[in-house]
A and B are shown apart, each in its own frame.
Chain A
Amino acid sequence: MPVIRVEDIRKSYGDVRAVDGVSFEVAEGEFFGILGPNGAGKTTTLEIVEGLREPDSGEVSILGRRPWPRNQELLTRIGVQLQASSFFERLTAREQLRTFASLYGVPASRADEMLETVGLTESAATRTEKLSGGQAQRLSIACSLVHSPDVLFLDEPTGALDPQARRNLWDLLRSNAAQGRTVVLTTHHMEEAEALCQRVAIMDHGRILQTGPPAALVRELDQSVRISIESGTLSAEQARALADGAAVADDGVSLSFTTTAPAALLAALSDRNALAGLQVRGATLEDVFLHLTGREYRS
């Protein structure tokens, strides 16, 4: 019995099909990721699932209930962190969290514990406007967790953070996910999806291209290898001729091939003396994306 069931939801804004027939299920206690580049439709999908937007068509159920129209009882059991952090103006971190806690009927002591959990006790008296990006995100996550929800939705929780702050947040999310909660997270960081999610849905242009555990998706690529050389070494036609069916992409810095027959390709490149800047590595989720869409992943 899945905790979240999404069936063929669609949402258009004028001519833009933001979500174009998305279906997925999330099991209890699962950490599920929606991965896709900017504008893929991740936020729109998440907001429909949370009950913030009404889909044009399709069905959503969370914990057996429909999130739209607004369902007060369901809202006590889900926690959300929106893509843009949203706080009361001019309150300190502690006041902020206590205010949110009281909206859920949670005592202030629990709010203070939560502040400790996310490592913000020292910034408790700081106004939210003055928190660093990472601290604000932590507080935002604390606000979404303060009432111990069964299901947690996080929209790009590490959006604008530096690598160090991102890793700190990952630790926080991992320890929280370990508490048996069902989590749905969106991200455009491949690395993040690989590090956190048990299962990811790769999304582009409003559709889910593939779903599965990150490792399995990579494996399904049939041990493909990614070979890149300096951009400009070969012309586009030459590259395509050499590729022999492998995916080719040129991002202006390097020309990359994703292939299951690396030996032949390497030999051919070497024949043409086109090995400048050569790099060879195993496939990642980026290659899965490249394979699925035929274009380079740009987050």
Chain B
Amino acid sequence: MNPAPALRSLSVAMFRGFVRDRAALFFSLLFPVLFLVLFGALYNNSGTPQITVIEIGRVGVIDHAMAASHGRLGQVLTITHEASLAGALSNVRQGNADAAIRQQGDRLVVSYSVSDPTTAAVVRQIFASIVDQANVAATGHPPTYQLTDSQVESASLKPIQYITPGLLGWAIASGGAFAAATTLVGWRQNKLLRRLRLAPVRTSSIVTARIAVSVVIGIAQMFVFIGIASLPYFGLRLTAYWWMAIPVVVVGTLAFMSIGLLVGAVAKTQQAATGLANLIILPMAFLGGAFIPLAFAPQWLREVSYVMPLRYLVVGMQDVMARGDGPASVLPAIGILLAITCVLTAIAVRLFRWEEV
């Protein structure tokens, strides 16, 4: 018999079953999006720390530097004014400002609190370089060496560039794993698997339908994520080969569905399947770079991440969506995800049971 109509109607039945399941919809679609909005808002504007400095009286060097930097210094420095030294120092002590600065003849005196050592270091650095530049300018010669900085990544790597592929990876991983596990266990529990076995439908049609539905959901998730993260408020900038993330999403879905199949093969109830899938996916989200960007992670975490399937999904998407790498850069990730799929599916097939014992 022609398998196409059966394939189509099985896919439609599964898709309907999915969109009518409020809890599944919430956890696999809305929940990750909420995370994206939350993380995105949390890390918004945290790219460069803003430093507030109180200028006591007039400090010519600073005013000059601010004017000469064409506003670039203003991105990191906010200058407020205060007449009295005592009032300014008290403000710094209370944390209302990061430093107070005054000029005593040729000396520039910076007062800062060491309660936040990072900010203190940044403050010292900034003023040291301002003074250096002023000194060079005072000699009347052009500076011998000049520092031109350019970022390795083509776009500015704001946190949203990491957060979007990271959380998307987590969403796709849990979506795929849950879909496969709960379908398998649910259909075994309600005997539908046995009923389908007595219908002239190929096992491959059932599996293909399930995969097709999950892949479609995964790609939909991707576009929802990109859509939200690209809003001006979050400011995601997709890089040239972002569409190469689509094949990564597809193989990522396959890989995590195979994890779900394995879970579904051993779990007896849907609750157990959900619990077990969570137990696997959630730690992996932390260790595989979904929640904690690997670029900022400690060394041990980066090493551990290599054994996490999620790493390849997340990093693969990051490379082409946010870092501007070429289309071929995702091939290793795709290969590894496919290999994981093959191995886990083979194991799941061996453990597969048509019915509860």
- Interfacial residues, chain A to chain B (CB-CB below 8 A): 50-52, 70, 72-73, 75-76, 78, 80, 82, 84-91, 95, 98-100, 102-105
B328 close to chain A: CB less than 8 A: no
Within 8 Å CB of A88, what residues of B?
13-14, 17, 192
- Interfacial residues, chain B to chain A (CB-CB below 8 A): 1-2, 5-6, 8-10, 12-14, 16-17, 20-21, 186, 190-192, 194-202
If A70-B197, A75-B200 touch, whether A105 touches B20 (CB-CB below 8 Å) is no
Taking a contact as CB atoms closer than 8 A, the residue among B9, B12, B186, B190 that contacts A103 in the complex is B9
State whether B5 touches A102 (Cβ < 8 A).
Answer: yes
State whether A100 touches B16 (Cβ < 8 A).
Answer: no
Q: Whole-angstrom distance between the alpha carbons of A99 and B1 in the complex?
A: 15
Q: How far is the CB of A110 from chain B (nearest CB, A)?
A: 13
Within 8 Å CB of B17, what residues of A?
88-91
State whether B197 touches A52 (Cβ < 8 A).
Answer: yes
State whether B16 touches A75 (Cβ < 8 A).
Answer: no
Q: Whole-angstrom distance between the alpha carbons of A91 and B202 in the complex?
A: 21
Q: How far is the CB of B197 from chain A (nearest CB, A)?
A: 7
Q: How far is the CB of A219 from chain B (nearest CB, A)?
A: 37
Within 8 Å CB of A84, what residues of B?
190-191
Within 8 Å CB of B21, what residues of A?
89-90
Q: Whole-angstrom distance between the alpha carbons of A99 and B196 in the complex?
A: 11
Nearest residue (CB) in B for A71 is B200
Taking a contact as CB atoms closer than 8 A, the residue among A86, A90, A95 that contacts B191 in the complex is A86
State whether B191 touches A82 (Cβ < 8 A).
Answer: yes
Within 8 Å CB of A82, what residues of B?
191, 194-195, 198
State whether A102 touches B8 (Cβ < 8 A).
Answer: yes
State whether B1 touches A72 (Cβ < 8 A).
Answer: yes
State whether A80 touches B200 (Cβ < 8 A).
Answer: no
* Interface CB pairs A-B, < 8 A, 29: A52-B198, A72-B1, A72-B202, A75-B200, A80-B195, A80-B198, A82-B195, A86-B190, A86-B194, A86-B195, A87-B192, A88-B14, A89-B17, A89-B21, A89-B190, A91-B13, A91-B16, A91-B17, A95-B16, A98-B9, A99-B13, A100-B199, A102-B6, A103-B6, A103-B10, A103-B199, A103-B200, A104-B1, A105-B5
Nearest residue (CB) in B for A83 is B191
Instruction: Give the 9 A-B CB pairs with smallest separation, nearest first.
Output: A102-B9, A86-B191, A86-B195, A90-B20, A75-B200, A86-B192, A103-B199, A89-B17, A99-B13
Q: How far is the CB of A169 from chain B (nearest CB, A)?
A: 19
State whether A105 touches B16 (Cβ < 8 A).
Answer: no
State whether B194 touches A52 (Cβ < 8 A).
Answer: yes
Q: How far is the CB of B83 from chain A (nearest CB, A)?
A: 71
State whether B9 touches A50 (Cβ < 8 A).
Answer: no
Q: How far is the CB of B297 from chain A (nearest CB, A)?
A: 40
State whether B195 touches A105 (Cβ < 8 A).
Answer: no
Within 8 Å CB of B201, what residues of A?
103
Within 8 Å CB of B196, what residues of A?
103
Nearest residue (CB) in A for B7 is A102
State whether B13 touches A76 (Cβ < 8 A).
Answer: no
